[in-house]
Structure 1
Amino acid sequence: MSDKKNVDFNSIYCGLQPDLGRFRLSQNGLGWKGGRDRTVIVATDDLKKMSWTRAARGFELRVLQKDNTVLKFDGFKPDDLDELKESVKAFYKLPIEVKEVSVKGWNWGKTEFQGSNLNFSVTNKTMFELPLAQAIATNKPGKNEVAINFVDPGQPAPEGINPKDVDELMDITFYVPGTVAKENTNDDANVEEDEEEEVNADMVFYETVKSKLELSQMTTENIVQFQEALCLTPRGRYNIDMYQDFLRLRGKTYDYKILYSNIIKLFLLLKPDEVHVLFVIGLDPPLRQGQTKYPFLVFQFVREEEIDVDLNLEDEALDEKYENKLQKHYDAPTYEVVSNVFRALTGRKVTVPGSYRSHHGANALKCSMKANEGFLYPLEKSLLFIPKPPTFIPLNEIGVVTFSRVGQSGGSSRTFDMKFNMKSGNDIQFSSINREEYANIEEYLKQKKIKIKSEGNEDAMMTYTDLAGLDDDDDEEDDDYDSRKRRRTGDTGGSNFPGAGADDEDESPDEDFAPDSDSDVPEEYDSSAQGSSEGEDEAGDD
């Protein structure tokens, strides 16, 4: 259907939008209007080039604008091409280039960057395109390899679509061999005598993709940057750039974009050495490095280290959007500033140690999980083992706790083991726990009304109360890793911990992470702290 002023096409998609709309051509430009009042308009003066190709949803009209941004309109029928050619020529004096798609199935071709898209072509025919604007990270997993990570499938599917019916590209790896000539930045044309310098082609490809990602993230200025933050899991040092809706982790090898909506838990914990503070970030979906998934990020800060920084925010935004949860200027311990900023930008509460104290007055007890040494933090509604592998244990998911090698009075064993039998059927075991810690952890489990028993004497099971009392609304936050649908977004209460948010975990929080003054940290924690500081600058082992 057409007239002298405009030409309309119905049932057309715009880009990756799931809903259909109406596409119109007129003298003033072209436009598309879909459901929920979604509208796209391009003026005639902004049009640069148009092309026609086969797509997943029928045929596609691709519009290249003068700023090199590309708009795609899918759903056309083969018979629409003649009418489009005639209308585009009459309205805009532009031709429509018909492009064929390669269907050979080869995996060896050429790449070309066009705006925010990466085109992969075989024998001068496009095989596929990648929208880099939707990429979240790029890295080099191996020699001559460049990987591009896209939006994780853990994000919600469009309304009306079953998430199980959605197929989504998670990542793609390119093999880029050989070398290319380095771009000559010298304006002097009489340098022919110098040999042309060459660089690895994979590094050029990697830097180009990285620049495209950075350009797509520069639409908003970063609020604050924390430089060279030490991450224990995964190991490495990262710059943390905080934006309004997401954060960016930039390391030497990996570069990640993490949406605040994917952050579901925050912990601020003092290590037993009383020198370092751990800031733990729980993610769903988890961060991925190759085939390895990291549901928790564990950052370590020196307790006495301070930072002096100004936030890139206007006073109105501080008052209205963040409700005075942020300050314009910070001059405080680094861990305190980091936790405050994360709490305000993510809207999540910061969990701090509760009433539990070990035999030596610390917030955690030293133990091992398989071959990995770490610290187990008994909190008010959960237990957390860090740094590797970070293990989160909600109290309401524990069936029974089994102790072994604790009843050997006068025995030679100086340690005992503890196994958590979960209601899901999984077992989580910790070993090499100092015998002196038994009374404190047993008292903690009694207070939390957890069933305990000693191995070898199963008939003497000690039941302290029915576990049904634990399954109330206060435990919804512990179910975050089982179902995102049950996640709580509230932020109530208060905390005396610097930089921490309100949380029921904090029944009796430490004002400044200070354990009981009459308890000294033993030498075993000192040696552990020394080993941690010596290994801070080591390369990542994952």
Structure 2
Amino acid sequence: MAAIESFDNIHLDLSKETGKCRFAENGLGWKPSGGGEAFTLENTSIGAAQWSRAARGYEVKILHRNSGIIQLDGFSQEDYERLSKIFKTWYSIPLENKEHSLRGWNWGKAEFGKAELTFNVQNRPGFEIPYSEISNTNLAGRNEIAVEFASSEDGGKGKRAAAGKDQLVEMRFYIPGTTTRKEAEGDDAASDADEEEKNAVNLFYETLLEKAEIGDTAGDTIATFMDVLHLTPRGRFDIDMYDTSFRLRGKTYDYKIPYDHIKKFMILPKPDDLHVMLCLGLDPPLRQGQTRYPFVIMQYKKDEEVTIDLNLTEEDLKEKYKGSLQPHYEQPVHQVVSYLFRGLAGKSLLSPAEEFQTHRQQYGIKCSIKASEGFLYCLKKSFMFVPKPATYISYEQTQSVTFSRVGGAVSALSTFDITVHMKGGTTTQFSNINREDLKALENFFKLKGLRVKNEIDEDANLMAAALRDEMADDSEEEVVGAKADRGSADEDESSVDEDFQADSESDVAEEYDSDHESSGSGSAESDVDNEDAGEDDDDEEEEEEKPAKKKKKTG
């Protein structure tokens, strides 16, 4: 054999870029065709090798002696004899020809290998999942388990997943019945203690946690907080804080989150003056099935205190954290947690702007997004709506803010809406805000340099102008009506009343009859007599003449 055997157009670990693969007596190497960092593997690190059909032709899968898998894809079928001789002669390892199951069955047996999980159908592998590609696993039901796959951002994992345009993010297994650890792992040397039967799905879950090293962290926990209420995702989780990451442990879900994923960190006091919310903005977000959570929102009681000693040496506190953490805390829980996140993650703590408070002297504005009620906070550089759907809007991305009335609502006079127009063209509406906070919000937005359009005041001005016009029209109609000829209505009303009394045949004295007497009319007549008796005589003569004229007309 030649000292070196070369193969062109080979892909390493499902990479998009091709390269040249070279085999030598002391090991193998791969170098990308376009230039870049080369990959090498010594012959002493090769534990086993398999030949099988793959996506781009045929594949050589090399199992690392310690852990891990190396995939070389792109070989032709004619290369098998040549490669088999290379592995046998130089590495003293047989190149095993492994055929995959093509039946398409979705039931089989899952086996845990040294570096990967294999799903076998009739003793042939249907598919394999490297442990390095698994980011999390959770019990999704009584006999169901969910396996989540890592993305390219998840702590160095997910290299193979990032190779394709589309990505498989989750797979679920239904595992009924009971089994033993010996059967699950296929280990003949298992002890008698492992012979105890357990629920198969629980044993699968525990084994996968161990094999894939899910939740494992370097070092001991620095601090632990038990049974913390989370509003998003909903539930109670235990918080374990480590050197480079923290872990959320719940009854169903378990998350390991590196501190590097924390992009925003906010403390938001609730308007009830009893609770405080801590909000962590994550990128990439938490994934729970098909639901993504870009924000983790915790809630603490404002007056609940805790006493805790950090599991750190004085040297670490001085050298590594440079005084950002204290060895001992005896304060409210939300303050201690915020101090630890700020010191371990190195993120500044955001809080509501001091320039704005509601009419009740609070920072949170009660409102809603569509049908979801929550609280809107005006921070120094952004809006933040919590708890669900958690919405973050920076002032820099805001084009304008519009104040408007509630359309068709009974409470239109007591509440209003805010519509935030983004520079990208999208809009977000916050509804049912108390009318008493209108002026304070408008002044705050103008202080932050935002363009504000107040449609409420415009509507009020238009309505006032319309009312003024309507009142002016009414007054003009009264003037015109006064000048118009009203016919018989212009005649003296007293003559009309006396005509009615003169024609009446009733013996009963009417109110307007001269024979009718009452205390009110008598007192009025006495007052008039006292003032001027002469005027009464003239009035009587006129009254006698007017009925006579009226009768001549009717006769």
Normalization by structure 1: what TM-score?
A: 0.70
By how many angstroms is 1:445 displaced? 2.8
By how many angstroms is 1:326 displaced? 4.2
Paired amino acid for 1:208: T
Counterpart contact for 1:30–1:41, Cα < 8 Å: yes
Paired amino acid for 1:403: S
Paired amino acid for 1:446: K
Aligned length: 444
Rounded Cα–Cα distance in structure 2 between residues aligned with 1:188 and 1:366: 58
C-alpha spacing 1:414/1:285, structure 2 compared with 1 (3 Å): same
Paired amino acid for 1:338: V
By how many angstroms is 1:124 displaced? 2.0
Rounded Cα–Cα distance in structure 2 between residues aligned with 1:314 and 1:31: 46
C-alpha spacing 1:62/1:405, structure 2 compared with 1 (3 Å): closer
Rounded Cα–Cα distance in structure 1 between residues aligned with 2:46 and 2:406: 77
C-alpha spacing 1:83/1:413, structure 2 compared with 1 (3 Å): closer
> What are the equivalent positions in structure 2 for 1:104-503 lying under 5 Å apart?
104-152=103-151, 166-181=165-180, 187=192, 198-214=197-213, 217-218=216-217, 224-243=223-242, 245-304=244-303, 305-312=305-312, 315=315, 319=319, 324-327=323-326, 330-355=329-354, 356-396=356-396, 397-404=398-405, 415-423=414-422, 424-448=424-448, 449-455=450-456, 457-458=458-459
Q: Which has the higher contact order (CA 8 A, sep 6+)?
A: 1
Rounded Cα–Cα distance in structure 2 between residues aligned with 1:223 and 1:57: 47
By how many angstroms is 1:319 displaced? 3.0
Rounded Cα–Cα distance in structure 2 between residues aligned with 1:97 and 1:115: 17
> What are the equivalent positions in structure 2 for 1:3-42 lying under 5 Å apart?
3=3, 7=5, 9=7, 11-16=9-14, 20=19, 22-26=21-25, 28-29=26-27, 36-42=36-42
Rounded Cα–Cα distance in structure 2 between residues aligned with 1:23 and 1:345: 45
Paired amino acid for 1:203: N
Counterpart contact for 2:15–2:163, Cα < 8 Å: no
Paired amino acid for 1:386: V
C-alpha spacing 1:337/1:42, structure 2 compared with 1 (3 Å): farther
**3-state DSSP class of the match of 1:214?**
coil
By how many angstroms is 1:383 displaced? 1.7
Counterpart contact for 1:146–1:202, Cα < 8 Å: yes
Counterpart contact for 1:398–1:450, Cα < 8 Å: yes
Paired amino acid for 1:343: R
Rounded Cα–Cα distance in structure 2 between residues aligned with 1:221 and 1:210: 18
Structure (1/2) with the larger helix percentage: 2
Indicate yes or no: 2:66 matched with 1:93: no
Residue range with higher mean Cα deviation, 113-122 or 216-225: 216-225
Paired amino acid for 2:150: V
Paired amino acid for 2:104: G
Rounded Cα–Cα distance in structure 2 between residues aligned with 1:164 and 1:180: 37
By how many angstroms is 1:327 displaced? 4.7
C-alpha spacing 1:386/1:181, structure 2 compared with 1 (3 Å): same
Rounded Cα–Cα distance in structure 2 between residues aligned with 1:326 and 1:314: 10
Larger radius of gyration between Structure 1 and Structure 2: 2
Equivalent position of 1:510 in the other structure: none
Paired amino acid for 1:77: S
- 1:71-125 Cα offsets, whole Å, 9 max, x none, are 3333333333223222322234332211012233332222111124111222222
Counterpart contact for 1:368–1:430, Cα < 8 Å: yes
Paired amino acid for 1:443: N
Rounded Cα–Cα distance in structure 2 between residues aligned with 1:75 and 1:188: 46
Residue range with higher mean Cα deviation, 113-122 or 340-349: 340-349
- 1:340-379 Cα offsets, whole Å, 9 max, x none, are 3433444443211211222222221223334433222112
By how many angstroms is 1:265 displaced? 1.7
**3-state DSSP class of the match of 1:351?**
coil
Paired amino acid for 2:333: T
Equivalent position of 1:538 in the other structure: none
Residue range with higher mean Cα deviation, 218-227 or 137-146: 218-227
Rounded Cα–Cα distance in structure 2 between residues aligned with 1:108 and 1:22: 37
**3-state DSSP class of the match of 1:128?**
strand
Counterpart contact for 1:315–1:328, Cα < 8 Å: no
- 1:376-403 Cα offsets, whole Å, 9 max, x none, are 2112222212122212233342523223
- 1:30-69 Cα offsets, whole Å, 9 max, x none, are 555666545443453x543322112224322223344454
Residue range with higher mean Cα deviation, 104-113 or 450-459: 450-459
Paired amino acid for 1:420: T
Rounded Cα–Cα distance in structure 2 between residues aligned with 1:130 and 1:176: 17
Paired amino acid for 1:401: T
Residue range with higher mean Cα deviation, 59-68 or 103-112: 59-68
- 1:136-160 Cα offsets, whole Å, 9 max, x none, are 22123334321111224778999xx
Paired amino acid for 1:339: S
Counterpart contact for 2:268–2:277, Cα < 8 Å: yes
Equivalent position of 1:192 in the other structure: none
Rounded Cα–Cα distance in structure 2 between residues aligned with 1:33 and 1:427: 49
By how many angstroms is 1:254 displaced? 1.0
- 1:212-254 Cα offsets, whole Å, 9 max, x none, are 3435844566555444332111111223344555443221111
Paired amino acid for 2:13: G
**3-state DSSP class of the match of 2:357?**
coil
Rounded Cα–Cα distance in structure 1 between residues aligned with 2:193 and 2:403: 77
By how many angstroms is 1:453 displaced? 1.8
- 1:387-436 Cα offsets, whole Å, 9 max, x none, are 22212233342523223269x9xx98784132314235544343443444
Rounded Cα–Cα distance in structure 2 between residues aligned with 1:21 and 1:454: 67
Counterpart contact for 1:8–1:25, Cα < 8 Å: no
Rounded Cα–Cα distance in structure 2 between residues aligned with 1:188 and 1:360: 64
Counterpart contact for 2:416–2:434, Cα < 8 Å: no
Residue range with higher mean Cα deviation, 166-175 or 310-319: 310-319
C-alpha spacing 1:357/1:296, structure 2 compared with 1 (3 Å): same
**3-state DSSP class of the match of 1:54?**
strand
Rounded Cα–Cα distance in structure 1 between residues aligned with 2:172 and 2:227: 27
Residue range with higher mean Cα deviation, 389-398 or 6-15: 6-15
Rounded Cα–Cα distance in structure 1 between residues aligned with 2:129 and 2:328: 41
Counterpart contact for 1:385–1:391, Cα < 8 Å: yes
**3-state DSSP class of the match of 2:392?**
strand
Counterpart contact for 1:405–1:417, Cα < 8 Å: yes
**3-state DSSP class of the match of 1:86?**
helix
C-alpha spacing 1:33/1:425, structure 2 compared with 1 (3 Å): closer
Rounded Cα–Cα distance in structure 1 between residues aligned with 2:445 and 2:331: 36
Rounded Cα–Cα distance in structure 2 between residues aligned with 1:244 and 1:22: 39
